[in-house]
Structure 1
Amino acid sequence: MGYTYPVRHQTGTLTTEQLHLLLKNPRLIARQVASLTNEKFLADYLLSGRYDAAGGGVYYETETGDLYTGTDPEAIEPAGDYPLIQLDEGVPSAARTVKFGQGSVITDEKISREGNQYVQKALMRVGNQMVRYVDTVAWGVIASRVSSTSAATSDGVGAWTTAGNVLGHLMTVREARAELATGLDLDTVVLPSAKWAKLVGMLVDDGALPREQGNIALSGTAPVSAFGMTWLTSPHITGTDPWLFDTAQLGGMADEKLLSEEFAAAGQTGVEASTTRISDNDSYLVRGRRVTVPIVTEPQAGVKLTGTGL
Structure 2
Amino acid sequence: MPGAYPPAAPTLSGDLLTIHRLLQDPLRLERRLRTIVDLRFIADRLLTGRGRSSGGAALIQQSEPIVNPRAVEAVSPGAEYPRDVTPEGTAVLVPVSKWGQAVSLTDEKLKRSVYMGREVDRALTKTANTVITKIDRLATSAVASAVTNTVAAAAQWDSASALLYRDVEKAGAKIVDQNQGFKPNAVLMSTTKYAILVTDPAIAQMRRRETSDNPIYGGDIEYLGKYEVITTAVSNLPSDDVWVFDSNELGTMIDEVEVDPGYARIDNGLQYQVKRVSERDAWDIWARRITAPAVEEPAAGVKITGTGSLG
The one-letter amino acid paired with 2:92 is S
Aligned to 1:3: none
- Cα deviation, 1:160-210, whole Å, max 9, x if unaligned, reads 446982222222222232122111122211111111112211247843333
Distance change (3 Å), C-alpha of 1:124 and 1:262 = same
Contact 2:214–2:220 (CA under 8 A) maintained in structure 1: no
Q: Given the alignment, which residue of 186, 193, 197 partners 2:195?
A: 197
- For residues 139-168 of structure 1, give each alpha carbon's deviation from its aligned partner in whole angstroms, at most 9, with x where no partner exists: 111111111111124xxxx44446982222
Larger Rg: 2
TM-score, scaled relative to structure 1: 0.83
Distance 1:139 1:94, change over 3 A: same
Residue 37 (structure 1) shift: 6.9
**1:165 corresponding residue in structure 2:** 163
Task: Look up the match of 1:116.
Answer: 117
Aligned-partner SS, 1:196: helix
SS, match of residue 239 in structure 2: coil
Any gaps of 5 or more consecutive residues in structure 2? 6-14, 75-79
Q: Which residue of 2 aligns with 1:150?
A: 151
Which position in structure 2 is the counterpart of 1:306? 305
After superposition, residues 61-210 of structure 1 pair within 5 angstroms as 61-65=61-65, 67-68=66-67, 86-114=85-113, 115-153=116-154, 158-160=155-157, 161=159, 165-203=163-201, 206-210=204-208
Cα distance, 1:33 vs structure 2: 3.2
Shift of residue 86, structure 1, vs aligned partner: 3.3
Aligned to 1:19: 19
SS at match of 1:36: coil
Cα 1:213–1:188 shift into 2, 3 Å: farther
Change (3 A) 1:166 1:30: same
Distance 1:163 1:208 in 2: 17
Following superposition, the deviation at residue 134 of structure 1 comes to: 0.7
Q: CA deviation at 1:238?
A: 3.3
Residue 196 of structure 1 aligns to which amino acid in structure 2?
Answer: Y
- Kindly provide the amino acid, as one letter, of the partner of residue 140 in structure 1: S
Aligned residue runs from structure 1 range 26-45, under 5 A: 26-36=26-36, 40-45=40-45
Q: SS at 1:270's partner residue?
A: coil
- Does the CA contact (< 8 Å) of 1:30 and 1:272 recur in 2? no
Judge conservation of contact 2:57–2:96 (CA < 8 Å) in 1: yes
Identity across matched positions, percent:
28
SS of residue in 2 equivalent to 1:29: helix
Aligned 8 A contact 2:151 2:170 in 1: no
Give distance in 1, aligned partners of 2:160 and 2:83.
50
CA pair 175-214 structure 1, distance change in 2 beyond 3 A: farther
Does structure 1 conserve the Cα–Cα contact (< 8 Å) formed by 2:60 and 2:296? Answer: yes
| C-alpha RMSD of matched pairs (Å) | 2.9
Whole-angstrom CA distance in 2 between matches of 1:246 and 1:29: 35
SS in 2 for 1:189: strand
Deviation at 1:83, TM superposition (A): 9.3
Structure 1 unaligned spans of 5+:
1-9, 75-80
Q: Cα offset for 1:68?
A: 4.6
After superposition, the Cα gap between the structure-2 partners of 1:135 and 1:205, relative to the gap in structure 1 and judged at 3 Å, is closer
Give the distance between the partners of 2:202 and 2:68, measured in 1 at CA. 44
Distance 1:163 1:210 in 2: 23
